[in-house]
A = this chain, B = another copy of it.
Amino acid sequence: MTPEEEQVLEANKNFYSALQNLSLEEMDNIWLQEDWVRCIHPGWDLLEGWEAIRESWQQIFENTRFMRVAVILQSIRVEESTAWVCCTEKISSASEGRFDSSYVQTTNIFERRNGGWYVVHHHASHRPVGDGSESEEVVQ
């Protein structure tokens, strides 16, 4: 793995730390705060611009009591100042007394600014396989 790929993976890891910690402050640090950044949560419409994306995280975090994300890295590609990563996430979460578990397929795109890598796009979608059985496995 190249030093640049390691940096991108570190940024990707920081993104999932922010998610697990339900931390808007950490999201502030890892996203590029521009109008052209984009985000697609599983089953949501495309969100356009940092303001709308930040609001979505705030809403998700306010409605979640805990979240654990097991991330399997599937691929990474770095080309000059842009990088993209594909991951499978197994998300276990609790909200309003309800436990849930699902598999999500993700594409994360990063751009480099001043030596750091920032999230500029997050596309997450449910993987039908595993959804049902895993949900049953966790709810006890």
- A residues apposed to B, CB below 8 Å: 36, 38, 40, 42-43, 45-46, 48, 74-75, 77, 79-82, 84, 86, 88, 105, 107, 109, 111, 120-121, 123, 125-129
Instruction: Provide the main secondary structure of the chain A interface.
Output: strand
Known contacts: A79-B81, A81-B80. The answer to whether A74 contacts B86 by CB under 8 A is no
In the complex, the answer to whether A36 meets B77 with C-beta atoms within 8 Å is: yes
In the complex, the answer to whether B107 meets A121 with C-beta atoms within 8 Å is: yes
Known contacts: A36-B75, A80-B80. The answer to whether A88 contacts B129 by CB under 8 A is no
Q: List 25 A-B contacts (CB under 8 A).
A: A36-B75, A36-B77, A38-B86, A40-B107, A43-B127, A45-B105, A45-B127, A45-B129, A46-B74, A48-B75, A77-B120, A79-B80, A79-B81, A79-B82, A80-B81, A84-B84, A84-B121, A86-B121, A107-B109, A107-B121, A107-B123, A123-B123, A123-B125, A125-B125, A125-B126
- So how many copies of this chain end up in the complex? 2
In the complex, the answer to whether A74 meets B48 with C-beta atoms within 8 Å is: yes
Instruction: Please give 10 more A-B residue pairs, beta carbons under 8 A apart, in addition to A77-B121, A109-B109.
Output: A42-B125, A45-B105, A45-B127, A46-B105, A77-B120, A79-B111, A84-B84, A86-B123, A107-B123, A125-B125
